[in-house]
Amino acid sequence: MLKELIDKFYLDKERDREQHHFYITDAGKCSRAIFFKFKNMPRKKMTPEILRMFDHGNYVQMQILNALFGLGIVRASEINIPPQQLISGRADAILTLDNELYVVDFKSMNSMIFQKLEAAKEENINQIQLYMHFFEIPKGILLYVNKNTLELKEFALNYNPALCENLLQDLAALKIKIEKNIVPLRLSGYPENWQCRYCQFKEICKITGQKEVSWEAFKKKVQEGEGLDFLNNNI
Ligand code: SF4
């Protein structure tokens, strides 16, 4: 009854979508997984429970943003980076503290991960560094929220131009591979790398092999029966 309807609501929102440009959350992530997203490859489906947990995280973050509005320090919220060709993204907030501007990004997580968190996560640092880069604001704060207890942890960061340059260069190189249909290398540390553990493209990555390959040759191999059956219906 209701459960099925609610599950369907979440699953419908999560249909595979072809990606046409980079998001700031892609920065520093596995190039191959991003390539597969651009090619709209079939991916392991998320369960309605996981999708509801993401949704819950968004509500928790809104609650924190409301508190910051109450303090009167929010200068902008949900603000898009200035338009440019390579990448798009939206920062959670820009605040003023002690007469200085800060870009702020909220991250929510469960208690188990929150309790172990001693430093800002690398993928979150990449993201906020690019916000600082595009907004030309040299200070940022990553604010982590424990979804179970609503405890907070924060990490202040200064702009790192060299890191941003590297991240943007990597994305520009990946853009060329996507246009030329070259499947990038696997991540080093596959399959133990944390990104592989949560990757929705694990199956297709396994049959693609370690090296860079031509996307057309890979599709031919799958269509000739050397790949997984489900891929034949999707490429
Ligand atoms: S399994 Fe690992 S290497 Fe392969 S696409 Fe996913 S994240 Fe990348």
Predicted confidence (pLDDT) per residue in 2-16, tens digit: 888 888 888 777 765
Neighbours of 223 (CB within 10 A): 12
Neighbours of 98 (CB within 10 A): 6
What is the pLDDT confidence band of residue 232, given thresholds at 50, 70 and 90? low
Look at residue 142 in the predicted model and tell me its pLDDT: 98
Centroid of ligand 1 to alpha carbon of 207 (angstroms): 11
Residue pointed to by tokens 């509801």? 52
In angstroms, rounded to a whole number, what is the distance separating the alpha carbons of residues 32 and 29? 9
Residue pointed to by tokens 């990606």? 19
User: How far is Cα of residue 53 from the mean position of the Cα atoms in its chain?
Assistant: 16
**Angle, helices 122-135/161-179, rounded to nearest 10 degrees:** 100
- For 16-138, strand residue ranges (E) read 22-23, 74-80, 87-88, 90-97, 100-109
Look at residue 17 in the predicted model and tell me its pLDDT: 63
What is the number of the ligand 1 atom nearest to the C-alpha of 187?
Answer: 3
Average pLDDT, the chain: 89
In angstroms, rounded to a whole number, what is the distance separating the alpha carbons of residues 232 and 158? 48
The set of protein residues with a Cβ atom below 6 angstroms from ligand 1 is 30, 32-33, 186-187, 190, 193, 195-196, 199, 201-202, 205
Neighbours of 36 (CB within 10 A): 23
Using a pLDDT cut of 70, give the percent of the chain over it: 93
Asked if 143 and 104 count as a contact pair (C-beta separation under 8 A), the reply is: yes
Residue 224 has, within 13 A of its CA and on its CB side, a CA count of 7
What is the number of the ligand 1 atom nearest to the C-alpha of 36?
Answer: 5
Look at residue 84 in the predicted model and tell me its pLDDT: 82
16-28 residue pLDDT tens: 566 788 999 999 9
What are the sequence ranges of the domains in the chain? 24-181
* 24-181: CATH architecture: Alpha-Beta Complex (3.90)
113: left (phi over 0), alpha (psi -120 to 50) or beta: alpha
Neighbours of 184 (CB within 10 A): 20
Asked if 151 and 192 count as a contact pair (C-beta separation under 8 A), the reply is: no
pLDDT tops 60 at residue 117: yes
What is the pLDDT confidence band of residue 230, given thresholds at 50, 70 and 90? low
pLDDT tops 60 at residue 1: yes
What is the pLDDT confidence band of residue 228, given thresholds at 50, 70 and 90? low
User: How far is Cα of residue 216 from the mean position of the Cα atoms in its chain?
Assistant: 27
212: DSSP letter: -
Name the strand (E) or helix (H) holding 9.
Answer: helix 2-13
Look at residue 43 in the predicted model and tell me its pLDDT: 77
Centroid of ligand 1 to alpha carbon of 30 (angstroms): 6
119: DSSP letter: S
Look at residue 227 in the predicted model and tell me its pLDDT: 55
pLDDT tops 70 at residue 58: yes
What is the pLDDT confidence band of residue 129, given thresholds at 50, 70 and 90? very high
Least confident window among 30-44, 45-59, 124-138, 169-183: 45-59
